[in-house]
Each structure stands twice: as C-alpha cells, then as structure tokens.
Amino acid sequence: MKRALRSVFCLTLSLAGPVYAESMPQDSWYFSHQWGGYGSAEGKFNVPRGVAVGPDGRVYVADYTNKRIQVFEADGTFVRTWSCPSPWGLAVSSGGQVFVAGSRTNCILVYEADGTFVRQWGSRGAGSGQFDLPTGVSVAPDGRIWVADSGNHRIQVFETDGTFVRSLGRYGSLDGQFSSPRGAAVGPEGRVYVADYGNQRVQVLEQDGTFVRQWGPVAEARSVTVLPGGRVFVPVSNQILVFESDGTLLRELNLVGLSEAAVAPDGRVLATEWDGHTLHVFEPTYRTFAFNGSIPSPGVVRCRQRPGYSYLDIDYLVADPDSPTVTVAVAAFEGGTNSLERFVRISTLLEGTEAQVGPNVAANTTNRISWNVGADWPADYVELKVRVMASDGRGLLDIGFITLPTNGPEPALTISASPITHDDMLPLWIWLLATNDASIHLSSGLVYGVGGAYDGALLASNTLTLPQGRAFLFDRMGLREATAGEVSRAKTGPGGVTNLWAPRITVGPNRWPGGVNEYGFDTGKWGADAWWVVKE
C-alpha cells in the first residue's frame, strides 16, 4: 500500500540569532571628561571654537580669542601651539594638513601638522573665492575644501590649493537658499549637509546645489559633521544633536554653553564649550547594531504532495542580496511540533534534488527538493512540519556585541548586547542534526555529545538545552558564558545604576531588546533562563 501524508506544514528558518538593528535616542555616548579652562597658558582656552581630529588621532582646537591653534594628544596632553588670526572652523585632511577659516581676516589658512604655514587664499568680498565671515571648513572625501561663507549666505568649494570650483546657494529661506550658514560637510553618499544657521534648519543638497531635503527647526545650528556611516552631528546652543541622515533625531548631548564639535575615528565626540573655555569628551558606548551583511531569508514558494505517492515536492527560495550561494538544510517534525523527540531526518531525496541541500546552493532563485517521505518515516499516515534552513557562513548565531570601556582595574569587556535563550538554541540543534554533524547523536529526543570533551554528555532534551549543551554550543562559536559579575557590570552602566529605557525597535520571537541602558546593553527582565556570552 502506498503511504500518504495526512497534512504538511512548511516553515522556514535562517540561522540569524539575537541580532537587532536599533537606533535609540539615549544610548550612544556618555560624558567622560574634559580639559582646558580659561587662560592663555598652554592647554588653556579663551573662547575655543572649531575642533578637529587628525588621522593620527591628535586633537586640533581653534583657540579663537587667544589667536592660535592648539594641538593635543587624544588624552588631552598638550603637544604644540601656533599663532593664527581669528580661527573659527578648522579641518584636517587625510594627509595631515590643517585648514582654518580665518573669520575676521576672511581667508582660508593652510598649515602642516607641525604648524608650518603652507598657503592662504581669499579676501573680503562677494566674488568667487572671496569671503565675508567664513566660519566652517571641512574636507570632503574627494579632498576638496568646503567653506561656509556665512556673511555671503553661501557655500564655496575649492581644490586643496585654493582653486575655486563652485558656489552653492544665496540669501533666502527657500529650498537651497541660506541665511548665515555656519558649516557644510559632504556625507558618504556624496550629498552635502549644511548647517543653515539663520533659517534654523539642516539642508541636504546634491553637490551641484540641487535640493534634496531639509529638517528642523534646528535652532542655532553652528556646524555640521557627517560620519562615514551617515550620522549627522550638529552643535546648537548648549547641545550637540545627533541625527540619522534622514533627519531622525537620535541623541542630545548636553553642554552648558555654546559649542562646536568633531567626531574622532574611534567614535568619541569632542566638543568645545565657548563660554566654559573647555573641551568635553563623550565616549561611545553603543554602536547601532547592523547585520554583518544581509541575513539569508529562506521562504517556501510551494509545498505539495504528489497524488497517490508519499513524495513531497518543496519549492523554496533563499533571499540574500549579498551572497550568491548559501548552505541549506532541511528537517521535519512529526505531529507539527518543534520537539527533538519528533525530529525526522530528511535523507531520501529524489531526482537529483539532493544538490539543492548542503553548501553552494544558489540564493535568490527558486529551488526544489523532492522527498520520499515513506522511505524516511515508515508510517501509513503522518502529519509533518517541514523546516527549510539557510546559512551564509557567518556561524551558528549572528550575535550583536557591545564593548564596555576600561573602568579602573577592569579591562575592556566585549559582551553580547542581548541574552541567548532556549528558543535561540533549539534551532542550532536542529541545524546540526539536519546537517549530520558528527559531534552529536540524537536518541529519543535526547542529544548526546560524540567524541572530544563532551563525549557521552547529555546536551539537550526535547526543546531544552542543558548546561553542558550551552557550553558545547558556546565552544562551537568561540565564546563563553558571561559571569554574573560581567553581566552586572554591563547592566549598571557607567553611572553605576541600571537604567532601563524602552527601545524604539524590537525584533525576534523574544522581542530583543527588552530594555536598554546607556551602553546599549539589554536590561530587560529576562529571568534565569537567559545567558549572555563574551568574547575571550
């Protein structure tokens, strides 16, 4: 008698794990320390304005009223100073040259990193290459120099030798017009972000001046910095505002007085406080999580039993924009459950479709496997759930990590932002079983280790992963379970208290994150059956 399937459920799984893409307004930086103070001695300031970070990590400050540029190591140690008339904005090129906007002398001055004068260009006026109170200067990715010509209500562009390239904008409040712009910077996508001070907004333009979008009100936008990842930093009165490139406000870094800002390559935010005569350092404590490339997303197109046969044709597609091939595994469960006690190994594939399982399976196209169910599950009638899984080689779990900075005697610590639960680990056992991993063995819903340190150890039972099983999986991923002290350190954050802010975005069946602190650490109430991991 030919066996028949009573019913079939098809579902999919990508081995992604507890990773989330998350942008939150309260968890990116915290105030670390400051240096300076009022005066004219080395390391002191009198109305510091522009600040920039060189390719060597050194910090350059436009000490406006003291008419000089001061240079510091990243930790604030004084390096050198040189005279410079009315310095306002400044920028450092990838080659280490320093470009300074001389606001009262209406010129751009260029120096080597040691203070050696190189050249200057500009004079007072409204012609091409002339200025009226230039305030902001930046170096674009292509090396060109962008200057906010505030009094002329325009942005001017130059080659590094001062050759005029073009001018953008004129006075007004319409799209693409400006009122006393204070700064301009070219973002990673090639668009120009302008701190349109008088119009209380940020404008985004193409490099030819074509208007793209704007956002506001942004009162007293004093300059603008754009990171390679696209985030936009705009100092305003008593704050630095951090935006996504679409204008979404992410964070407000609070200061006492007026400020300018720069972002170091290591993510630190450096802010001069004009009336406090100091430089403030905000340490990065949480990077927005991003998938390491696109996670493969398997989907079943059609699942059909051939009439009169115990053959099941499963058409599936794995979407993965940045991977032409993926590794695919399939498994089934009798009775429609996820328990390992009901695991059915799919072994007998027909008509050459075994090539559509395993490594180097084409992504982004429909593939078919044809399964002889009767050969692998000897029952006249069976209710099955079929699981299609895909991996692009990033490992069993793509875990999002944060790094806690050094804190006194405690070294830096890299720890998972959210915990791993039983629900996260069960798919890993299914994957290992479906791919015939030789290091484990399944018997009556129990998973045992085979060989090595876990030989004969009971690792999992039905849907639960046992302590030895957690250690086994973490070993496979090159991780270890975090200690209670390490978790406590991450939870309490730099202020020593457990802040729990509601996240704007949650993902996954367990809804990660449950809450976040200023480190971006998941401070949700997870209970005992949740485990964080650390990188050694």
Residues 370-404 pLDDT 10s: 999 888 887 777 778 888 888 887 778 878 888 88
Instruction: List all residues 6 or more positions away from 66 whose beta carbon is below 8 Å from its beta carbon.
Output: 40, 45, 46
Q: Which tens digits make up the pLDDT trace of 504-529? A: 556 555 566 777 787 778 888 888 89
105: pLDDT strictly greater than 90: yes
With cut-offs at 50, 70 and 90, classify the pLDDT of residue 308.
confident
> What's the order of all strands across the beta sheet hosting 297-305?
297-305, 311-319, 366-372
For residues 272-279, give the mean pLDDT: 92
The pLDDT of residue 51 is 96
With cut-offs at 50, 70 and 90, classify the pLDDT of residue 458.
very high
163: pLDDT strictly greater than 90: yes
412: pLDDT strictly greater than 90: no
Token look-up 């006075």 returns 171
Q: How many residues does the chain have?
A: 536
* Residues 69, 271: Cα–Cα separation, whole Å: 15
For residues 246-271, give the mean pLDDT: 82
The pLDDT of residue 17 is 38
Alpha helices (runs of H) in 336-466, residue ranges in sequence order:
373-376, 422-434
On the 0-12 / 13-18 / 19+ scale of CB atoms within 10 A, 527 is exposed
Average pLDDT, the chain: 86
pTM, two decimals, is 0.56
Torsion sign (Cα): 413, 419, 421, 424: negative
Return the DSSP state at 300: E
With cut-offs at 50, 70 and 90, classify the pLDDT of residue 21.
very low
Residue with the larger pLDDT of the pair 18 and 206: 206
Pick the most confident of 165-169, 270-274, 278-282, 395-399: 165-169
Instruction: List all residues 6 or more positions away from 528 whose beta carbon is below 8 Å from its beta carbon.
Output: none
The pLDDT of residue 509 is 55
255: pLDDT strictly greater than 60: yes
With cut-offs at 50, 70 and 90, classify the pLDDT of residue 294.
low
Torsion of CA 239, 245, 247, 252, to 10 degrees: -20
The pLDDT of residue 535 is 86
Instruction: List all residues 6 or more positions away from 76 whose beta carbon is below 8 Å from its beta carbon.
Output: 33, 35, 43, 59, 279, 281
On the 0-12 / 13-18 / 19+ scale of CB atoms within 10 A, 76 is middle
480: pLDDT strictly greater than 60: yes
